[in-house]
């Protein structure tokens, strides 16, 4: 498989889905929004974007299956599967607040081999393929060179319905607030990972995540020279619902802190 060529095709699909989303921005009515769970929403725009993406990718790689947020396709591929978030940051989108993004990854069994995150507000397309490096709008990107953890800028996301770890999370947040340059919460995990990849953030952590939130962002980040793990330091960050990521310089210290608070 030509990873570069297929990534270029996925970029076209992600941008066309982004056009659907942008055309619907500011035109939602209350009956266009459904509640899937506590603070968990889907709009007609999410569904339209996903339907479009699935149709296009089915033509691109007919043998591949899908892991989708909105369940447009339940097809499972024996080897290849697309992992799709048609609108990462739905709550932001509902309120007309950027960022929100299209996130598409291709997995070869348990390995992500290509990923695209198209952040719609700034028209920024982040992408990477296996052993090919990471890019933002055709320019090579790298993680930051920040080696002083106390000077790092971190990103996170707040839990919206899984609150069993909330007390530990708040204690960790307090510690990081006091011992870093700051914490930001954008509301789109795919964008957070892309921003670590290009050096805007030095690290990102969160729990209660889904595969489609992180799959594309993770390969972009690692191809940009970063590191990623679950809270235990293992490799279950795609399906394990938790993630720690940063550049190589601060990763060990960052992970140790997250472990101390979240796994104690």
Considering the domain architecture, whether residues 88 and 159 belong to the same structural domain is answered as: no
Could you tell me the pLDDT band of residue 70, with boundaries at 50, 70 and 90?
confident
Q: Answer whether residue 39 shows pLDDT above 50.
A: no
Last residue of a domain, one of 72, 106, 140: 140
Express as a percent the part of the chain with pLDDT over 90.
85
Q: Is the pLDDT of residue 28 over 80?
A: no
Mean pLDDT value across the chain: 93
Enumerate the β-bridge partners of residue 228: 245
Range of the domain at 92: 3-140
Looking at the fold, whether 251 and 186 belong to one and the same domain comes out as: yes
Backbone angles phi, psi at 139, to 5 degrees: -110, 135
Asked whether 100 and 120 are in contact (CB, 8 A), the reply is yes
Separation CA 111–CA 179 (nearest Å): 34
Alpha carbon distance 138, 260 (integer Å): 39
Q: Which has the minimum average pLDDT: 32-36, 75-79, 128-132, 168-172?
A: 32-36
What SS3 class is residue 51? helix
223: confidence class by pLDDT, cuts 50, 70, 90: very high
The verdict on 130 and 168 lying in the same domain is: no
- Is pLDDT of 36 > 60? no
Average pLDDT over residues 220-240: 97
* Strand 134-136 versus strand 124-129 pairing type: antiparallel
pLDDT at 193: 98
Give the total number of structural domains in the chain: 2
């Amino acid at each position: 498989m030509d990873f570069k060529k297929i990534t270029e095709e996925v970029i076209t699909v992600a941008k066309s889905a982004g056009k659907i989303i942008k055309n619907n921005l500011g035109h939602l009515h209350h009956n266009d929004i459904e509640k899937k769970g506590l603070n968990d929403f889907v709009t007609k725009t999410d569904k339209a974007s996903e339907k479009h993406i699935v149709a296009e990718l089915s033509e691109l790689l007919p043998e591949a299956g899908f892991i989708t947020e909105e369940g447009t396709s339940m097809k499972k591929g024996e080897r290849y599967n697309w992992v799709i978030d048609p609108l990462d940051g739905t709550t932001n989108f509902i309120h007309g607040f950027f960022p929100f993004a299209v996130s598409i990854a291709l997995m070869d069994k348990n390995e992500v081999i290509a990923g695209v995150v198209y952040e719609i507000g700034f028209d920024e397309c982040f992408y990477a393929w296996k052993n090919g490096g990471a890019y933002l709008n055709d320019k090579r990107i790298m993680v930051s060179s920040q080696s002083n953890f106390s000077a790092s800028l971190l990103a996170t996301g707040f839990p919206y319905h899984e609150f069993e770890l909330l007390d530990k999370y708040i204690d960790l947040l307090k510690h990081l607030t006091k011992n870093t340059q700051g914490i930001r919460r954008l509301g789109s995990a795919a964008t957070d990972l892309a921003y670590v990849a290009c050096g805007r953030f030095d690290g990102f952590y969160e729990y209660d995540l889904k595969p489609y939130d992180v799959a594309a962002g993770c390969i972009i980040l690692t191809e940009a020279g970063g590191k990623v793990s679950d809270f235990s330091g293992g490799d279950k960050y795609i399906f394990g619902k938790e993630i720690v990521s940063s550049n190589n310089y601060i990763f060990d210290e960052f992970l140790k802190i997250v472990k101390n608070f979240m796994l104690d």
